[in-house]
Amino acid sequence: MTTPTPLPLDRPSGSETPEGTLEGMKRYLRYDLLSGFLVFLIALPLCLGISLACGYPAIAGIFTAIIGGIVGATMSNSELTIKGPAAGLIVIAIGCVTEFGFTGGANLDADYQAYRLALGVGVAAGLVQIFFGVFRAGILAELVPTSVIHGMLAAIGIIIIAKQFPIMMGLSAKGEPLELLMEIPTFVMEMNPEIGFIGLISLAILAGYPYIKIRALKKFPAPLVVLMIAIPLEFYFDLDHPHAYTFNHHEYQVGPNYLVNVPLSMLSAMTFPDFSGVFTGTGMKYVILFALIGSLESLLSAKAVEVFDPWKRKANLDRDLTAVGIGNTVAALIGGLPMISEIVRSKANVDNGARTRFANFYHGMFLLLFVALLPGLLNEIPLAALAAMLVITGFRLAAPAEFVHVYHVGKEQLLIFLSTVVGVLAIDLLAGIAIGIVVNILVHLVNGASPASLFRLHHEERPAPDGSVRLSVKHAAIFPTWIALRRKLHEHFQTHSRVELDLSETRLVDHTVMSRLQEMQADLAEKNQELTISGLDGHQPLSHHKAAARKKNWSKSASPNKSTSPH
């Protein structure tokens, strides 16, 4: 999941703001039904691929998307987000089943038990997310520094590529992500030619699709085009029947084990959790990971979709998180994967002209109908094609452009970003995030933040000459105290239309605070309220990026009353 800053879409002229009510459901049926169908075409292969990459049965992702469509339409007011399984949670899910004894097919009984134990963890994590939402803890996601978030996502992308590339080549391989990445040339040389051909053709379609200029072809989602080519190739290679073939004087085995395998009855595929592992060390670790990382990704996606929304509708993020928690609890109770508000499918939903959250509901219902009526067709999908989709997803999370972007934000941000990436790859996800946060704190201390400013927001409030309020921050404005600063600003905007934030007495304003102040300014402007930033003329930006951290320039005389903008 990446969360780019998109250009705002133009609001359709002369139209009222659609609402996800029963009246809205009737009024915007044709828009939401069409978008729901197109998103279903994208979601179907991705749900299957993500499930298998997680070590869950392929049908688990379908369960999650169906339930996500129901809870998204009935319990959330995030109008255009699509709820379902996401690649960003693959690393946590496969780690959970692995630590519970998953063998990757070597021992089916052990794999089934590991899956049931992971479902028990999923139920517990969903309940924690409900607690987060009910008690308005969604704001805690804003405590994680921006570069740590991007580092975490990039590391997840690297892990997905490393784990899925051998599958795309028709091989099985175990090892640490960096070891597997080093083996990619070997995987290409040793691939099963027929399976590797399907995988590489699928990869080429997905990689080249953005560059295709044929408008008629672009009406079909890229994953659907992949399936339209991969399934006929599967029939041509006769993968439904186990057999050997010879290529370049080498013999290779193929058969149904290279295809998706889902039960012909959804009801028989439902699996109930085993809660005996929840309160073990492994169980508690993954409850925390699923709840925290899942909540973080879901909140970031929901906020990003608000920018895409042509009507700029704002979701109640605590309500949305509660809906996700309820969805996760129900999904895990019947055998489903964890869900989030997923950014790629949500963006496709916007692009396809959806109006309300019922598009999410329709996408889930199309999945339900397809699996109920045509389950046999799912079993003709080559695993190599699904692996190719995940390799592309991993590349988008860890693209070189992401590293370059972070470098342009600031060299210190690149250090934090890389520390997080290395920590995740070398240890695990939770440790990597902790390492990134510790490095960020050390960077702040080196750049002049006092230890006291890490734990408490030091500030003064006084009336401004024009009748508004001036909030003066002292010592530092940095990510550990951002929530306190945000709360203070929102308190003043309850009674004032304009607030001045004076940063002249800070030694450091970090990138996370700068970027979130910019977001707040944009949000307030839509309400005809104004947040004015002053006192930054005495600070030196650490890069040319508009949201770069600012460090006090002691050789320059500051003018605290001069109003500036972080833009």
Q: What is the mean pLDDT of residues 19-27?
A: 92
Task: Taking residues 329-355, report their average pLDDT.
Answer: 95
Which tokens sit at 412?
Answer: 């210190």
Q: Residue 460 has what DSSP assignment?
A: E
**Beta pairing class for 250-254 and 550-552:** unpaired
* Separation between Cα atoms, residue 441 and residue 346, nearest integer Å: 34
Q: What is the pLDDT of residue 353?
A: 93
- pLDDT of residue 516 exceeding 60, the answer is yes
For all residues of the chain together, what is the average pLDDT? 91
* CATH label, 451-564, candidates 3.30.710.10, 3.40.630.30, 3.20.20.370, 3.30.750.24: 3.30.750.24
User: Per residue in 34-84, pLDDT tens?
Assistant: 999 999 999 999 999 999 999 999 999 999 999 999 999 999 999 999 999
Q: What pLDDT is recorded for position 366?
A: 97
User: In Å, how far from its chain's centre is CA 454?
Assistant: 28
CA distance 89 to 290: 8
What is residue 414's predicted lDDT score, i.e. its pLDDT?
A: 97
Q: What are phi and psi for residue 9, nearest 5 degrees?
A: -80, 150
- State how beta strands 458-463 and 340-342 pair: unpaired
Percent of the chain predicted with pLDDT > 90: 82
Q: Mind listing the pLDDT tens digit for each residue in 255-300?
A: 999 999 999 898 999 999 999 999 999 999 999 999 999 999 998 8
CB-CB contact of 75 with 326 (8 Å): yes
- Residues with Cβ < 8 Å from 199, sequence gap 6 or more? 167, 168, 169, 170, 191, 382, 384, 385, 387, 388
Domain boundaries for CATH 3.30.750.24 within the chain: 451-564
What pLDDT does 269 receive? 93
pLDDT band for position 304 (cuts 50, 70, 90): confident
How many Å apart are CA 132 and CA 68, to the nearest integer? 18
Residues 6+ apart with CB under 8 A from 191: 169, 170, 171, 199
What pLDDT sits at residue 137? 79
Bridge partners, residue 508, by sequence = 476, 551
Residue 217 pLDDT = 84
- Segment 456-478 shows an average pLDDT of 90
506 close to 477: Cβ distance less than 8 angstroms: yes
pLDDT of 435 over the 90 cut: yes
Integer CA distances (angstroms), 457 to 147, 462, 494, 558, in order: 22, 16, 20, 21
What tokens were used for 55?
A: 């070590």
Residue with tokens 């008629």: 216
560 falls in which pLDDT band (50, 70, 90)? very low
- Spell out the long-range contacts of 446-450 with Cβ–Cβ below 8 A and sequence spacing 24 or more: 447/412, 447/507, 447/508, 447/549, 447/551, 448/476, 448/507, 448/508, 448/551, 448/552, 449/475, 449/476, 449/478, 449/507, 449/508, 450/475, 450/476, 450/507
Return the pLDDT at 12. 54
